[in-house]
Chains A and B, each alone.
Chain A
Amino acid sequence: MFFQLFWTYLKIGTFTLGGGYAMLPLIQREVVDRKGWIDEEEFLNMIALAQAAPGLIAVNSAIFIGWRIGGWRGVCGAVLGAVLPSFLIILAIAMVFQDWKEIPAVEAAFKGIRPAVVALIAAPLVKLAKSAKIGWITALIPIAAALLIWLGHVNPVWVIFTTILLTLIVVKLKIKN
């Protein structure tokens, strides 16, 4: 089971570009449709849990599926398989990147790439705001969070912590009344 899970996640981890979310449909095809290790409903539950829990979604899903299918060995296999490809690729790049950056052509290309990267972070906000069904009042939450971090240099950890605490207090007060 260790090797099967390791191999499955290694394949998915090596060939998906675009981060954790992009891995989910491939994981579904491999684990639900082809191998039949878990059924569709449990898979959807797994996605909900992997997103609700902190941490990387791809890793969270690997832990869940690894545990359900193969216990401790399953977890080790799936997590190693999910992490190892990007770890090795980035390690190789990190080893040479400092020298490459000295090459004028590479530096010129990166001058063009940097603003594009900022745009790739900013642009999905439109879609996210839509799918979170954001309203005029609830829009104040992300705006306040962004300003606190950007201009106030508040650590995002505190912003998340405060969100959780305030929500719990508000829900508690609402239930009391």
Chain B
Amino acid sequence: MIYLQLFISFFKIGLFGFGGGLAILSLIQMEVESHGWMTPQEFVDIVAVSQVTPGPIGINCATYVGYTVGGIWGSVLSTFAIVLPSLIIMLSICKAYFWFTKRFKGNPYFEQTLRMLRFTVIGLIASAALMLIKPTTFIDPVSWIIFGAVCFFTVLPQVYKNKVTEILSHPILLILLAGLAGLVVYQS
């Protein structure tokens, strides 16, 4: 039963996951929270691990959630389920590649849908961030200082671009620094 639920959840995530990794986060979060598979805190932890390990975030989350819920077979099944819709859809596109590019390039229905989805995806990513602002993840004012600092360094290269700001905006470096800050502040 748990395997069937895992399969359905991650198949759904793969099927409706438009816009890449960050946009998929809100779908994964909704699934794991509604099934009670993970707390928001655990979910943030796995996103953190995903940011510092190689590979697509969607695969990382599927593997991790699958393992914690259903062991090794759970992780194999979840990872397979998130990839399966891609296989079906992309292979159909490939098989009809020339037909597809001729038919859909410049097609108003197709182009407008893609344009609108880009706007929706921005909302999806915003909701993923908003849903993670909880008392368990933002425990005190220091949390907000870290949040503000990471936002600042991530956006900085867009305003003031040079080698230093570029290096400082690297997500892995920022996570390591935040972990160091956590060690200094919270280690008693």
Residues of A within 8 A of B (CB): 13-21, 23, 45, 49-60, 63-64, 67-68, 75, 79, 82-83, 85-87, 89-91, 93-95, 97-98, 101, 104-105, 107-130, 132, 134, 138, 141-147, 149-150, 155-157, 159-161, 163-164, 166-168, 170-172, 174-175
Contacts and interface: CB of A to CB of B under 8 A. Distances in A.
Contact of B14 (A55, A121, A168): A55
Chain B interface size, under 10 / 10 to 19 / 20 to 34 / 35 or more: 35 or more
A49 B126 contact: no
B21 to A, nearest CB: 4
Given A54-B89, A63-B91, A110-B45, A116 B129 contact: no
- Chain B residues touching A, majority SS: helix
A108 B142 CA distance: 12
A54 B143 CA distance: 34
B86 A150 contact: no
A8 B41 CA distance: 36
B127 A132 contact: no
A168 B110 CA distance: 8
B36 to A, nearest CB: 14
B131 A163 contact: no
A16 B53 CA distance: 8
Nearest to A139: B119
A110 to B, nearest CB: 6
B167 interface: no
Interface in B28-82: 30, 34, 41, 44-45, 47-60, 63-64, 67-68, 72, 75, 79, 82
B162 interface: no
A75 B92 CA distance: 13
- Chain A residues touching B, majority SS: helix
Contacts of A143: 123
Of the listed residues B83, B172, B185, the one surrounded by the most CB atoms of chain A closer than 10 A to its CB is B83
Contacts of A98: 68
A142 B118 CA distance: 9
A123 B187 CA distance: 28
A155 B35 CA distance: 13
B174 A68 contact: no
Contact of A156 (B27, B47, B52, B75): B27
A116 B25 contact: no
B18 interface: yes
A59 B89 CA distance: 12
A119 B151 contact: yes
Given A54-B86, A57-B56, A119 B127 contact: no
